[in-house]
Structure 1
């Protein structure tokens, strides 16, 4: 029922002005930009995905210009507008979810649902991530290209069960009442007030020629899933 509850992973991908991947790999004809290690590149991408960090976006654009014929790889305006657009997204998601809860009064519950989703998004953005290591290998599907696999870790809040799990424990969506729904929203909100933290790990593949040339990826939004799953798929204390 709440499959849209997790922060939209398409958000970061939508910030790209063009697809960044093997199917649209840039031509590395120009001189290399200021050298960054794969670990540094991943940390910049993570800041864009989790925090809509405009400074990180501009740094990546400058770094990637040689690979994109001097053009921006990421849409700075889209990153800047992301917080306001997210409010609109959450409003639309909440409206859709209310339609799946026939016994829940939207006038009483919708605002609380939006607030709970915002709380989770704030928690996602509060994750502290850093790169740990990288390894490089040949790209078997693109001659002359390399893949750098970067391993990273994030310290994330650990509030316990997600809202979807809390509601599922109360029965099917059609049976949930306004009182029950509001009680679970309140429980979910308060779980962040007493949440501890846990450390989760993920990997991100970067593509390029290596040898000091720019590294890029079109899948940097994957860190959002890593953080959300780390927060909510285990109960606190496990």
Structure 2
């Protein structure tokens, strides 16, 4: 089997696993979904940051028929630098925020992302938190405590993990499970996988399983494939 075929198979398996996890989540109902889009902006993430800039419009485009989406961009980089944007309701505002960022070397600050999600959802419900990341350099016990608190507040964490770090994979799977969310690996060389995952979570955050199913009827084959398997509760 050629390497391209292997990568395609791997992407398919990653999406299938993600679907199985999201399938068990409770249905969500909201007119304007609030979603935190958090990215690791340390030096190793530069390529994926550029990719995310190109794909970020999917978050808004996917949810326009449902009443729209409100996104808060969060990122960490350098020496203890963490940023949380205002809540944004259009793709141009989000893109401007992302284009102003350059990646800097530093350690992960996932705890700050989770604390920000807790802070925001205690003000008003946050329907989903997306974390795009490749490694974990923090105390897993502490992160699990924070993820568990998100789970109690019904704010699921969707971890999109780039790379083959087995230790990070185990950590991210635990965080996703404790929050009531899902984990999915992706390959930065296959942007279609990340695009599909971002769209799926955005639609889920705005309208739940039924909204994703309805939306997919007007979209491409990959999104339809996701929706056909996301047959959660519709009531």
What TM-score do you get using the length of structure 1 for normalisation? 0.25
| Normalised TM-score (structure 2) | 0.25
Higher helix share goes to which structure?
A: 2
